[in-house]
Every structure is written in structure tokens, then in C-alpha cells.
Amino acid sequence: MYRDNPLTNISWHDFQKLTPEQKGPYFLREDRPYHVLTAQQFSRPMLERICDLTTKIRLIGKTKGGIHFLQDLLSEKRAMLYFVQPSTRTFLSFYAACQILGIAPAEVRDTTTSSEVKGESPEDTVRTFSSYFDLIIMRHPVGGFAERIAWLLSNTNRPIPLLNAGSGKDQHPTQALLDIYTLQRSFESHGGIERKRIAFVGDLGRGRTVRSLATLLLLYPGVRQYFVAPKELQIGDDIIAAIEKAGMEYEVCDDFEQVVPEVDAIYMTRIQDEWDASHESRLTDSNRFHFTAKHLAMLKPDAVLLHPLPRRKEIDVEVDSDPRAIYWRQVRNGMWVRAALMLTIFDRGVEIDRYYEDLVS
């Protein structure tokens, strides 16, 4: 395993200078994700494979026999969930995904109970985890820290895979994967994601979720992206540049109600005021970007409404019972996608294929 790790063939100094696209291949092994650090590391075939596995796992998990089969798959593994930023959803869905696959989970969430209070470096702390566990799932406030650790672990005599569950402001790749899966599942019976019109609404400048998903959507020809936000919270120029470079269509605007009837999917987001430098969120009249019961009437009959959650007031609770509101299904999809991803990392997808074939034949 050690010899095939591309991160052993490059110095940290050189690696840092690469673009996200250039870094991608360093996180793979034989065309499968090994480390999962960025949205950019996924190719279209990888996404298709993960979606395929996710659906199979989800269906296998509907019977007691299937659950026991899944629980045996990675029962020889132990995972460390190192979450030093607040998180319920991502943490618990990874935790549950571990339990589904028989991976024994352990967690460190509160740095006041850890050795960091004794002056240990973050690198040493994570290297300690790699001494006891077979996989590290990490959410960390420092952008780039996950990449640093992936490089570092790859250059020890006990390299193990690292899953980025959110780092700094930039990357949250597993959220992007579950969003892709949710879209694909929603559009399964009418042509898939390709050529769909997808709107992002809310705080687009600071939400790493939107940035990651917008990037992955470049892999689906014909998709037209709408970015609907007040000017000060609009999507970054780098994303627009990437869309243009890919030769795809997009629209940047701030008229929410005009966009609602036009699109096949609306992806609502929360104002991320925990990243506020100087209360800029409070200056924005964000009410104009809230989805309420009246918007349901404007929405296409087969359109879908997503939200990465947690929500505040962006979507009225009344909307929840409409069948086009799929954010609660999206939450549960996250658990299945993460299970599929861990199976892929450990190259056990083929066992899922085999079980599934027996199930449906």
C-alpha cells in the first residue's frame, strides 16, 4: 500500500504549490479515492460509481439480513472521528455510516480533554490517531490542515486514509457528494442531472458547500447554474471563472422570485455569520431570499428543493411536508453516501455488487 501512494513522491513544499485540480490525482489509488480531501479530486466515473454503490447499500440496508451483511464488511477496521469544529449532522452521519459497515468508531471532539492542552502539536496529535486507527475522519477549522496531514501520514510507516469532513472555509467534499447523489436520485426517472437548471440561493460567498457542488456540476454537460444572492454574499469569481472555462451556462442575479419558476432544483443555504469579519450579514436584507409556502405555487411540479441544513429561516417549516422538499431525504442520503465512500476507499465495492445482484435476481 505504501509504495503506491503518490503523496510519497512529492515534497510538501512542491505539493503546496499545486492547484486543487493538480492535487486531485495525489489522493487516489488505482483510480479510486484513497484520501478524500477536495471536490476537485472526483471524476465523473468516480461520482457515478459512488452513486451506484450508495443506492445498492441503501436498498441492501432495508432487510435485517442485508444489515448484517453490511456490518461484516469492514468489521476489522477502527475509525477516529476528529471533529474540533461544531457539527451534528456530518459527525453523526459519519458515525452512523461507520456503524452500518461494522467499523468501530472512536471520537475526539473537545480539545480541552486532549493532549493539546499539554502543548502537543496538531500534527503529533493526528499522528497519534494513526497509531491506533485505520481511518481518520476530520473536521478542522484550519484550511489546508487536512491536506497537510494526508501528506504527513503518507510519509510515515503507517499511512492511513484521511477523510475531510469540512476544513476551514474551502472544502467539504462529502457534502458535495451527497448533494450530487440527492440530485441524481431526484432526476433518475427524467434524464439525470445533465441539462438541468440548478439555482443556488443565499450566502454563496462563504458557504463551502455551494462552492464544492458548483464545481462538481461542471462534470454534467448542459447544466445551467443560477447564483441568487445579495451582491455582498455572491459566489466567488474563481467559481465563475471555472464555469466559463468549462464552457457552461450560468446566471448571477438577486431576483429570487424570478428564478423559482425557471429551475429544476433550488439549493437554499444559510447565512454563515460564524465567518463574519464585521457583522456584514446583519446589513443584508436576507428575507428576500427565504423560501415560503407561497413559493411552492411557483415551483415546477417536478422540481426539488434542497438545503444542506442546519436551516434558520431560509425555508419555512410549513414547506417541509411538500413532496418537492427533499432536504430531509438529503440528510439521510448523506449517511449512505459516506458509507459508500468508505467502502470505495477500502476497495470493497465489488462485494456490494455481488450481494445486490443476488438480492434482485
Does the active-site annotation cover 90? yes
Cβ proximity to its own copies: between 127 and 288 the closer is: 127
Q: Name the catalytic one among 29, 32, 78, 89.
A: 89
Does the active-site annotation cover 139? yes
Q: Name the catalytic one among 23, 56, 58, 172.
A: 172
Q: What is the CA radius of gyration of the chain?
A: 20
Nearest distance in Å: CB 238, its own copies: 25
Q: Contact at 8 Å (CB) between 123 and 152?
A: yes
Cβ proximity to its own copies: between 9 and 22 the closer is: 9
Sign of the alpha-carbon torsion through 201, 207, 212, 215: positive
DSSP 171: B
Cell of residue 203, nine digits: 450566502
- Rounded to an integer, what is the distance from CA 167 to the centroid of its chain? 11
Nearest distance in Å: CB 134, its own copies: 10
Sign of the alpha-carbon torsion through 284, 286, 287, 289: positive
Q: Contact at 8 Å (CB) between 101 and 70?
A: yes
DSSP 120: -
The Cα–Cα gap between 335 and 208 comes to 19
Which residues are at the interface with its own copies (CB under 8 A)? Answer: 64, 67-68, 71, 75-76, 78, 80, 83, 86-89, 92-93, 95-96, 99-100, 104, 106, 108-110, 112-121, 123-125, 127-129, 131-133, 156, 158, 270, 274, 309-312, 317, 328, 331-332, 335
Q: Contact at 8 Å (CB) between 173 and 160?
A: no
The Cα–Cα gap between 209 and 144 comes to 16
Nearest distance in Å: CB 159, its own copies: 12
Nearest distance in Å: CB 97, its own copies: 9
Nearest distance in Å: CB 166, its own copies: 12
Cβ proximity to its own copies: between 106 and 142 the closer is: 106
Does the active-site annotation cover 338? no
Cβ proximity to its own copies: between 88 and 258 the closer is: 88
Does the active-site annotation cover 197? no
The Cα–Cα gap between 281 and 185 comes to 34
DSSP string, 210-229: HHHHHHHGGGSTT-EEEEE-
Residues, the chain, total? 361
Nearest distance in Å: CB 2, its own copies: 14
Place of cell 492535487: 23
Does the active-site annotation cover 290? no
Cβ proximity to its own copies: between 7 and 219 the closer is: 7
Which distant-in-sequence residues (6+ apart) come within 8 Å of 267 by Cβ? 179, 198, 199, 200, 201, 210, 213, 306, 307, 308
Q: Name the catalytic one among 38, 54, 55, 90.
A: 90
Cβ proximity to its own copies: between 56 and 270 the closer is: 270
Q: Which residues are catalytic?
A: 89-90, 118, 139, 172
